[in-house]
Amino acid sequence: MPENTAAPQTAPPTGAVVAVPRRWWRLTVLAPTVLTDNSETSVLSTLFASIRQTLGLSLGALGILQATSRIVGVICGPLWISLAQRWGRRRVLVASGTWMATATALCAAAQNYAQLLTLFALASIGAAAGQPVIHDIIADLFDENSRGRAVGWLYGGVTIVGSLLTPVIAQVAGAPGGWRTGFLILAALMLLSALLVLFLYEEPTAGAGDGLLAQAAPAHPRLDRAVVAALFRSRTFTLMVVQRLISGHLLAGTFAVVFLVDTYGFTTQTAALIAVPSGLGYFLGTVAGGILTDRVHRAHPWHGRVTLLQLAQLLYAAAAFLGTQIDWGSIMVFAALFGVMAFFQGLNPGINRPLVMAVTLPELRGPAFAVLISIAEALAYAIFALGAGALGEAIGLQTVFLWVLVVLMAANAAFCGLLHLTYPADVRAVRSEIDRRNSAAVH
Protein backbone atom coordinates (compact mmCIF):
# COMPACT_ATOMS: atom_id res chain seq x y z
CA MET A 1 0.00 0.00 0.00
CA PRO A 2 1.16 3.58 -0.66
CA GLU A 3 3.42 5.17 1.92
CA ASN A 4 4.14 8.77 2.85
CA THR A 5 5.22 11.16 0.13
CA ALA A 6 8.00 13.34 1.45
CA ALA A 7 7.95 17.10 1.43
CA PRO A 8 10.51 18.97 -0.67
CA GLN A 9 14.00 19.35 0.76
CA THR A 10 14.35 23.00 -0.26
CA ALA A 11 11.99 25.47 1.31
CA PRO A 12 9.86 27.70 -0.97
CA PRO A 13 8.93 31.19 0.16
CA THR A 14 6.06 31.21 2.66
CA GLY A 15 2.75 31.68 0.85
CA ALA A 16 4.16 30.43 -2.49
CA VAL A 17 2.34 27.82 -4.56
CA VAL A 18 3.35 24.34 -3.38
CA ALA A 19 2.28 21.46 -5.65
CA VAL A 20 2.14 18.22 -3.65
CA PRO A 21 2.29 15.30 -6.12
CA ARG A 22 -1.05 13.68 -7.05
CA ARG A 23 -2.92 15.91 -4.63
CA TRP A 24 -6.19 15.97 -6.59
CA TRP A 25 -6.18 12.20 -7.00
CA ARG A 26 -5.63 11.75 -3.26
CA LEU A 27 -8.51 14.11 -2.54
CA THR A 28 -10.76 12.18 -4.93
CA VAL A 29 -10.05 8.94 -3.09
CA LEU A 30 -11.22 10.58 0.15
CA ALA A 31 -14.45 11.96 -1.36
CA PRO A 32 -16.58 8.80 -0.81
CA THR A 33 -15.69 8.89 2.89
CA VAL A 34 -16.98 12.46 3.16
CA LEU A 35 -20.10 11.45 1.20
CA THR A 36 -21.01 8.60 3.52
CA ASP A 37 -20.21 10.60 6.68
CA ASN A 38 -22.47 13.44 5.52
CA SER A 39 -25.19 11.03 4.34
CA GLU A 40 -25.63 9.45 7.75
CA THR A 41 -27.86 12.24 9.08
CA SER A 42 -29.38 13.40 5.79
CA VAL A 43 -30.53 9.90 4.88
CA LEU A 44 -32.07 9.50 8.33
CA SER A 45 -34.08 12.68 7.74
CA THR A 46 -35.30 11.35 4.40
CA LEU A 47 -36.21 7.95 5.86
CA PHE A 48 -37.77 9.33 9.03
CA ALA A 49 -41.33 9.71 7.71
CA SER A 50 -41.35 5.98 6.93
CA ILE A 51 -39.61 5.11 10.21
CA ARG A 52 -42.13 7.23 12.12
CA GLN A 53 -45.03 5.25 10.68
CA THR A 54 -43.43 1.85 11.30
CA LEU A 55 -42.25 2.51 14.87
CA GLY A 56 -44.92 5.03 15.89
CA LEU A 57 -42.59 7.95 16.64
CA SER A 58 -43.13 11.67 17.16
CA LEU A 59 -41.26 14.52 15.44
CA GLY A 60 -39.20 14.96 18.61
CA ALA A 61 -37.71 11.51 18.06
CA LEU A 62 -35.92 12.77 14.93
CA GLY A 63 -34.39 15.61 16.93
CA ILE A 64 -33.18 13.16 19.59
CA LEU A 65 -31.66 10.85 16.97
CA GLN A 66 -29.84 13.70 15.24
CA ALA A 67 -28.71 15.26 18.52
CA THR A 68 -27.44 11.92 19.80
CA SER A 69 -25.36 11.53 16.67
CA ARG A 70 -23.73 14.92 17.23
CA ILE A 71 -23.18 14.38 20.95
CA VAL A 72 -21.40 11.12 20.15
CA GLY A 73 -19.24 13.12 17.74
CA VAL A 74 -18.28 15.55 20.50
CA ILE A 75 -16.74 12.67 22.42
CA CYS A 76 -15.42 10.50 19.60
CA GLY A 77 -14.16 13.10 17.11
CA PRO A 78 -11.21 14.15 19.31
CA LEU A 79 -10.52 10.50 20.14
CA TRP A 80 -10.27 9.61 16.46
CA ILE A 81 -7.86 12.50 15.92
CA SER A 82 -5.69 11.23 18.78
CA LEU A 83 -5.70 7.75 17.24
CA ALA A 84 -4.86 9.20 13.81
CA GLN A 85 -1.81 10.95 15.25
CA ARG A 86 -0.67 7.68 16.83
CA TRP A 87 -1.64 5.08 14.22
CA GLY A 88 -1.85 7.13 11.01
CA ARG A 89 -4.77 8.77 9.28
CA ARG A 90 -5.36 6.03 6.71
CA ARG A 91 -5.77 3.33 9.34
CA VAL A 92 -8.22 5.47 11.27
CA LEU A 93 -10.33 6.24 8.18
CA VAL A 94 -10.50 2.55 7.28
CA ALA A 95 -11.34 1.48 10.84
CA SER A 96 -13.98 4.16 11.33
CA GLY A 97 -15.59 3.50 7.94
CA THR A 98 -15.82 -0.23 8.62
CA TRP A 99 -17.30 0.39 12.07
CA MET A 100 -19.85 2.82 10.62
CA ALA A 101 -20.88 0.42 7.84
CA THR A 102 -21.45 -2.41 10.31
CA ALA A 103 -23.54 -0.34 12.73
CA THR A 104 -25.58 1.23 9.91
CA ALA A 105 -26.42 -2.19 8.51
CA LEU A 106 -27.62 -3.21 11.96
CA CYS A 107 -29.92 -0.16 12.05
CA ALA A 108 -31.94 -1.88 9.34
CA ALA A 109 -32.83 -4.63 11.83
CA ALA A 110 -34.11 -2.29 14.58
CA GLN A 111 -37.49 -3.36 15.95
CA ASN A 112 -38.20 -0.37 18.20
CA TYR A 113 -37.03 3.16 18.91
CA ALA A 114 -34.61 2.17 21.66
CA GLN A 115 -32.80 -0.23 19.35
CA LEU A 116 -32.68 2.30 16.53
CA LEU A 117 -31.34 5.01 18.82
CA THR A 118 -28.63 2.71 20.19
CA LEU A 119 -27.52 1.44 16.80
CA PHE A 120 -27.57 4.89 15.23
CA ALA A 121 -25.41 6.17 18.09
CA LEU A 122 -22.94 3.34 17.44
CA ALA A 123 -22.82 4.26 13.74
CA SER A 124 -22.14 7.86 14.75
CA ILE A 125 -18.95 6.76 16.49
CA GLY A 126 -17.47 5.92 13.10
CA ALA A 127 -18.94 8.98 11.39
CA ALA A 128 -17.13 11.26 13.85
CA ALA A 129 -13.73 10.48 12.34
CA GLY A 130 -14.06 11.60 8.74
CA GLN A 131 -14.30 15.39 8.73
CA PRO A 132 -11.57 16.38 11.23
CA VAL A 133 -9.11 13.84 9.80
CA ILE A 134 -9.79 14.73 6.16
CA HIS A 135 -9.53 18.48 6.75
CA ASP A 136 -6.15 17.87 8.38
CA ILE A 137 -5.12 15.99 5.22
CA ILE A 138 -6.38 18.75 2.89
CA ALA A 139 -4.16 21.29 4.66
CA ASP A 140 -1.16 19.03 3.99
CA LEU A 141 -2.08 18.43 0.34
CA PHE A 142 -2.86 22.00 -0.78
CA ASP A 143 -1.15 25.36 -0.46
CA GLU A 144 -2.69 28.55 0.92
CA ASN A 145 -3.80 29.73 -2.54
CA SER A 146 -5.67 26.56 -3.55
CA ARG A 147 -7.31 25.26 -0.37
CA GLY A 148 -10.57 27.04 -1.13
CA ARG A 149 -10.89 25.26 -4.45
CA ALA A 150 -9.95 21.92 -2.88
CA VAL A 151 -12.58 22.20 -0.18
CA GLY A 152 -15.10 23.58 -2.67
CA TRP A 153 -14.71 20.79 -5.20
CA LEU A 154 -14.69 18.14 -2.46
CA TYR A 155 -17.91 19.31 -0.83
CA GLY A 156 -19.48 20.19 -4.16
CA GLY A 157 -18.85 16.80 -5.69
CA VAL A 158 -19.99 15.00 -2.57
CA THR A 159 -23.17 17.07 -2.41
CA ILE A 160 -24.19 16.55 -6.03
CA VAL A 161 -23.79 12.78 -5.64
CA GLY A 162 -25.65 12.90 -2.32
CA SER A 163 -28.51 14.88 -3.87
CA LEU A 164 -28.94 12.16 -6.49
CA LEU A 165 -28.77 9.46 -3.84
CA THR A 166 -31.44 11.02 -1.57
CA PRO A 167 -34.42 10.77 -3.98
CA VAL A 168 -33.47 7.16 -4.76
CA ILE A 169 -33.52 6.30 -1.08
CA ALA A 170 -36.76 8.27 -0.64
CA GLN A 171 -38.41 6.13 -3.31
CA VAL A 172 -37.11 3.00 -1.61
CA ALA A 173 -38.57 4.27 1.68
CA GLY A 174 -42.01 4.47 0.08
CA ALA A 175 -42.27 0.67 0.02
CA PRO A 176 -43.31 -1.23 3.17
CA GLY A 177 -40.22 -1.50 5.34
CA GLY A 178 -38.27 0.44 2.71
CA TRP A 179 -36.35 2.42 5.31
CA ARG A 180 -34.54 -0.78 6.24
CA THR A 181 -33.34 -1.17 2.65
CA GLY A 182 -32.22 2.46 2.73
CA PHE A 183 -29.94 1.79 5.68
CA LEU A 184 -28.47 -1.28 3.94
CA ILE A 185 -27.70 0.74 0.80
CA LEU A 186 -25.91 3.35 2.88
CA ALA A 187 -23.94 0.68 4.78
CA ALA A 188 -22.69 -0.81 1.50
CA LEU A 189 -21.47 2.60 0.35
CA MET A 190 -19.67 3.12 3.68
CA LEU A 191 -17.82 -0.16 3.34
CA LEU A 192 -16.84 0.69 -0.23
CA SER A 193 -15.40 4.04 0.85
CA ALA A 194 -13.29 2.35 3.52
CA LEU A 195 -11.89 -0.10 0.96
CA LEU A 196 -10.98 2.74 -1.42
CA VAL A 197 -8.97 4.45 1.32
CA LEU A 198 -7.29 1.17 2.28
CA PHE A 199 -6.03 0.38 -1.21
CA LEU A 200 -5.68 3.74 -3.01
CA TYR A 201 -4.97 6.52 -0.52
CA GLU A 202 -1.43 8.00 -0.29
CA GLU A 203 -0.48 9.85 2.92
CA PRO A 204 1.20 13.29 2.54
CA THR A 205 3.87 14.66 4.88
CA ALA A 206 2.65 17.00 7.62
CA GLY A 207 2.94 20.62 6.52
CA ALA A 208 3.75 19.76 2.89
CA GLY A 209 1.10 22.17 1.62
CA ASP A 210 2.78 25.03 3.48
CA GLY A 211 6.20 24.25 2.05
CA LEU A 212 7.40 22.98 5.42
CA LEU A 213 10.55 20.89 4.90
CA ALA A 214 10.32 17.20 5.75
CA GLN A 215 13.13 17.58 8.28
CA ALA A 216 11.34 20.53 9.87
CA ALA A 217 7.96 18.81 10.23
CA PRO A 218 7.17 18.41 13.93
CA ALA A 219 5.67 15.34 15.54
CA HIS A 220 1.92 15.48 15.99
CA PRO A 221 1.13 16.28 19.64
CA ARG A 222 -1.43 14.43 21.71
CA LEU A 223 -4.82 16.09 21.89
CA ASP A 224 -4.66 17.25 25.50
CA ARG A 225 -5.28 20.41 27.52
CA ALA A 226 -2.01 21.97 26.40
CA VAL A 227 -2.92 21.54 22.70
CA VAL A 228 -6.42 22.92 23.24
CA ALA A 229 -4.95 25.89 25.14
CA ALA A 230 -2.53 26.51 22.25
CA LEU A 231 -5.44 26.55 19.81
CA PHE A 232 -7.44 29.07 21.82
CA ARG A 233 -4.49 31.40 22.05
CA SER A 234 -5.42 32.21 18.46
CA ARG A 235 -8.14 34.83 18.75
CA THR A 236 -9.33 34.02 15.22
CA PHE A 237 -9.77 30.35 16.05
CA THR A 238 -11.69 31.25 19.20
CA LEU A 239 -14.03 33.50 17.23
CA MET A 240 -14.55 30.78 14.60
CA VAL A 241 -15.60 28.30 17.29
CA VAL A 242 -18.24 30.76 18.51
CA GLN A 243 -19.29 31.42 14.92
CA ARG A 244 -19.96 27.72 14.37
CA LEU A 245 -21.96 27.55 17.60
CA ILE A 246 -24.39 30.13 16.22
CA SER A 247 -24.59 28.75 12.67
CA GLY A 248 -28.32 28.08 12.45
CA HIS A 249 -28.22 26.85 8.86
CA LEU A 250 -26.90 23.52 10.17
CA LEU A 251 -30.54 22.76 11.01
CA ALA A 252 -32.03 23.22 7.55
CA GLY A 253 -31.01 19.95 5.92
CA THR A 254 -32.22 17.82 8.80
CA PHE A 255 -35.76 19.17 9.03
CA ALA A 256 -36.38 20.46 5.48
CA VAL A 257 -38.41 17.48 4.25
CA VAL A 258 -40.35 17.16 7.51
CA PHE A 259 -40.93 20.94 7.48
CA LEU A 260 -42.52 20.85 4.03
CA VAL A 261 -44.64 17.82 4.96
CA ASP A 262 -45.91 19.20 8.27
CA THR A 263 -46.16 22.92 7.41
CA TYR A 264 -47.31 22.94 3.80
CA GLY A 265 -48.89 19.49 3.44
CA PHE A 266 -46.66 17.89 0.80
CA THR A 267 -46.11 14.13 0.76
CA THR A 268 -42.69 12.80 1.74
CA GLN A 269 -41.95 11.77 -1.85
CA THR A 270 -42.92 15.22 -3.16
CA ALA A 271 -41.05 17.12 -0.44
CA ALA A 272 -37.94 15.03 -1.10
CA LEU A 273 -37.79 16.56 -4.59
CA ILE A 274 -36.07 19.58 -3.04
CA ALA A 275 -32.99 17.37 -2.63
CA VAL A 276 -31.92 17.75 -6.26
CA PRO A 277 -32.00 21.58 -6.48
CA SER A 278 -30.64 21.79 -2.93
CA GLY A 279 -27.80 19.52 -3.87
CA LEU A 280 -27.17 21.42 -7.09
CA GLY A 281 -27.27 24.74 -5.21
CA TYR A 282 -24.86 23.50 -2.58
CA PHE A 283 -22.59 22.08 -5.27
CA LEU A 284 -22.50 25.39 -7.14
CA GLY A 285 -22.02 27.24 -3.85
CA THR A 286 -19.09 25.15 -2.71
CA VAL A 287 -17.34 25.24 -6.08
CA ALA A 288 -18.03 28.94 -6.63
CA GLY A 289 -17.15 29.68 -3.01
CA GLY A 290 -13.85 27.85 -3.26
CA ILE A 291 -12.83 29.51 -6.53
CA LEU A 292 -14.02 32.94 -5.40
CA THR A 293 -12.32 32.61 -2.02
CA ASP A 294 -8.96 31.77 -3.57
CA ARG A 295 -9.21 34.70 -6.00
CA VAL A 296 -10.35 37.19 -3.37
CA HIS A 297 -7.69 35.91 -0.99
CA ARG A 298 -4.93 36.51 -3.53
CA ALA A 299 -6.22 40.06 -4.13
CA HIS A 300 -7.09 40.87 -0.50
CA PRO A 301 -5.16 38.42 1.71
CA TRP A 302 -5.94 40.08 5.04
CA HIS A 303 -9.69 40.76 4.83
CA GLY A 304 -11.08 39.01 1.74
CA ARG A 305 -12.07 35.71 3.35
CA VAL A 306 -13.69 37.41 6.33
CA THR A 307 -15.79 39.69 4.12
CA LEU A 308 -16.97 36.73 2.04
CA LEU A 309 -17.87 34.83 5.21
CA GLN A 310 -20.05 37.73 6.37
CA LEU A 311 -21.81 37.98 3.01
CA ALA A 312 -22.52 34.24 2.94
CA GLN A 313 -24.33 34.37 6.30
CA LEU A 314 -26.33 37.50 5.47
CA LEU A 315 -27.46 36.31 2.04
CA TYR A 316 -28.46 32.95 3.52
CA ALA A 317 -30.69 34.69 6.07
CA ALA A 318 -32.45 36.61 3.29
CA ALA A 319 -32.98 33.49 1.18
CA ALA A 320 -34.22 31.52 4.21
CA PHE A 321 -36.90 34.11 4.88
CA LEU A 322 -38.26 33.73 1.34
CA GLY A 323 -37.93 29.94 1.38
CA THR A 324 -39.58 29.18 4.73
CA GLN A 325 -41.93 32.00 5.69
CA ILE A 326 -44.12 32.31 2.58
CA ASP A 327 -46.57 29.67 1.31
CA TRP A 328 -45.77 29.54 -2.39
CA GLY A 329 -48.13 26.62 -2.99
CA SER A 330 -45.83 24.89 -5.47
CA ILE A 331 -43.08 22.43 -4.65
CA MET A 332 -41.15 23.79 -7.63
CA VAL A 333 -40.96 27.27 -6.08
CA PHE A 334 -39.94 25.82 -2.72
CA ALA A 335 -37.35 23.64 -4.46
CA ALA A 336 -35.86 26.66 -6.24
CA LEU A 337 -35.67 28.69 -3.01
CA PHE A 338 -34.15 25.83 -1.03
CA GLY A 339 -31.62 25.57 -3.84
CA VAL A 340 -30.73 29.26 -3.35
CA MET A 341 -30.43 28.71 0.41
CA ALA A 342 -28.16 25.75 -0.23
CA PHE A 343 -26.02 27.86 -2.58
CA PHE A 344 -25.30 30.44 0.12
CA GLN A 345 -24.73 27.72 2.71
CA GLY A 346 -22.39 26.02 0.27
CA LEU A 347 -20.16 29.09 0.18
CA ASN A 348 -19.09 28.41 3.77
CA PRO A 349 -16.72 25.39 3.57
CA GLY A 350 -14.53 27.00 0.92
CA ILE A 351 -14.20 30.05 3.16
CA ASN A 352 -14.10 28.87 6.77
CA ARG A 353 -11.92 25.77 6.35
CA PRO A 354 -9.01 27.60 4.64
CA LEU A 355 -9.48 30.45 7.11
CA VAL A 356 -8.89 28.09 10.05
CA MET A 357 -5.99 26.37 8.28
CA ALA A 358 -4.31 29.76 7.80
CA VAL A 359 -4.27 30.57 11.52
CA THR A 360 -3.16 27.17 12.89
CA LEU A 361 0.21 25.43 12.67
CA PRO A 362 0.35 22.14 10.70
CA GLU A 363 0.53 19.89 13.76
CA LEU A 364 -2.47 21.63 15.35
CA ARG A 365 -4.86 21.45 12.40
CA GLY A 366 -6.20 18.00 13.18
CA PRO A 367 -7.01 19.01 16.77
CA ALA A 368 -8.36 22.35 15.47
CA PHE A 369 -10.92 20.65 13.26
CA ALA A 370 -11.75 18.16 16.01
CA VAL A 371 -12.66 21.12 18.23
CA LEU A 372 -14.34 23.13 15.47
CA ILE A 373 -16.33 20.38 13.75
CA SER A 374 -16.57 17.45 16.14
CA ILE A 375 -17.20 19.55 19.24
CA ALA A 376 -18.44 23.09 18.46
CA GLU A 377 -20.40 22.32 15.30
CA ALA A 378 -21.73 19.07 16.74
CA LEU A 379 -22.89 20.76 19.95
CA ALA A 380 -24.60 23.49 17.95
CA TYR A 381 -26.29 20.92 15.75
CA ALA A 382 -27.41 18.89 18.77
CA ILE A 383 -28.88 21.94 20.47
CA PHE A 384 -30.64 23.08 17.30
CA ALA A 385 -31.96 19.58 16.55
CA LEU A 386 -33.28 19.00 20.07
CA GLY A 387 -34.74 22.49 20.24
CA ALA A 388 -36.34 22.29 16.80
CA GLY A 389 -37.82 18.86 17.53
CA ALA A 390 -39.37 20.01 20.81
CA LEU A 391 -40.30 23.55 19.80
CA GLY A 392 -41.52 22.37 16.40
CA GLU A 393 -44.25 20.36 18.09
CA ALA A 394 -45.14 23.29 20.38
CA ILE A 395 -44.98 26.35 18.11
CA GLY A 396 -44.39 24.87 14.65
CA LEU A 397 -41.28 24.46 12.54
CA GLN A 398 -42.05 27.62 10.58
CA THR A 399 -41.54 29.79 13.66
CA VAL A 400 -38.44 27.83 14.63
CA PHE A 401 -37.00 28.38 11.15
CA LEU A 402 -37.71 32.10 11.36
CA TRP A 403 -35.61 32.53 14.49
CA VAL A 404 -32.85 30.05 13.67
CA LEU A 405 -32.42 30.33 9.90
CA VAL A 406 -33.21 34.03 9.52
CA VAL A 407 -32.66 36.05 12.70
CA LEU A 408 -29.74 34.05 14.09
CA MET A 409 -27.94 33.90 10.73
CA ALA A 410 -28.20 37.69 10.32
CA ALA A 411 -26.66 38.05 13.78
CA ASN A 412 -23.95 35.57 12.74
CA ALA A 413 -22.97 37.84 9.84
CA ALA A 414 -22.53 40.77 12.21
CA PHE A 415 -20.47 38.65 14.63
CA CYS A 416 -18.07 37.62 11.83
CA GLY A 417 -17.04 41.27 11.56
CA LEU A 418 -14.85 40.76 14.65
CA LEU A 419 -12.55 38.56 12.55
CA HIS A 420 -11.32 41.64 10.69
CA LEU A 421 -9.56 42.63 13.93
CA THR A 422 -7.78 39.31 14.56
CA TYR A 423 -7.21 37.41 11.31
CA PRO A 424 -4.25 39.36 9.81
CA ALA A 425 -2.08 39.13 12.94
CA ASP A 426 -2.81 35.41 13.46
CA VAL A 427 -1.90 34.58 9.85
CA ARG A 428 1.38 36.49 10.13
CA ALA A 429 2.25 34.59 13.31
CA VAL A 430 1.77 31.19 11.62
CA ARG A 431 3.77 32.16 8.53
CA SER A 432 6.58 33.51 10.66
CA GLU A 433 6.80 30.27 12.64
CA ILE A 434 6.92 28.12 9.48
CA ASP A 435 9.71 30.31 8.09
CA ARG A 436 11.59 29.98 11.38
CA ARG A 437 11.34 26.18 11.32
CA ASN A 438 12.54 25.93 7.72
CA SER A 439 15.44 28.27 8.46
CA ALA A 440 16.44 26.23 11.48
CA ALA A 441 16.25 22.99 9.48
CA VAL A 442 18.69 24.12 6.78
CA HIS A 443 21.24 25.81 9.03
Q: Specify the DSSP element, H or E, that contains 137.
A: helix 113-141
Among 209, 217, 241, which residue's Cα sits nearest to residue 228? Answer: 241
How far apart CA 438 and CA 432 sit, in angstroms, is 10
Q: What are phi and psi of 16, to 5 degrees?
A: -75, 160
- CATH homologous superfamily of 22-202 equals MFS general substrate transporter like domains (1.20.1250.20)
- The confidence score (pLDDT) of residue 70 equals 82
Which residue type sits at 297?
A: H
d(CA 347, CA 290): 7
Query: Tens digit of pLDDT per residue, the chain (443 long)?
Result: 444 444 444 444 444 556 788 999 999 999 999 998 877 777 887 888 789 888 988 877 887 888 888 889 888 999 999 899 889 999 999 999 999 999 999 999 999 999 999 999 999 999 999 889 999 999 999 998 899 999 999 988 887 788 778 778 878 877 777 899 999 999 999 999 999 999 999 998 888 888 776 665 666 666 778 888 999 999 999 999 999 999 998 788 778 888 898 889 898 889 988 988 988 898 899 999 999 999 999 999 999 999 999 999 999 999 999 999 999 999 999 999 999 999 999 999 999 999 999 999 988 999 999 999 888 988 888 788 778 878 887 888 999 999 999 999 999 999 999 999 999 999 999 999 988 888 887 76
Amino acid occupying residue 106: L
- Reduce the DSSP state of residue 224 to 3 states and report it: coil
What is the per-residue pLDDT for 1?
44
Could you state, in order of their start, the residue ranges of all structural domains in the chain? 22-202, 223-442
Superfamily of domain 223-442: MFS general substrate transporter like domains (1.20.1250.20)
Per-residue pLDDT at 102:
97
Cβ atoms of residues 211 and 12 within 8 Å: yes
| 3-state SS string for 147-204 | HHHHHHHHHHHHHHHHHHHHHHHHHHHCCCCHHHHHHHHHHHHHHHHHHHHHHHCCCE
Distances (CA, A) of 440 to 11, 93, 218, 279, 428: 11, 34, 12, 47, 18
| pLDDT for the residue 226 | 87
Phi and psi (nearest 5°) for 19? -100, 100
At 396 the three-state DSSP class reads coil
Integer-rounded Cα radius of gyration of the chain: 21
pTM: 0.84
Q: Please check whether the two domains, 22-202 and 223-442, share a CATH topology.
A: yes
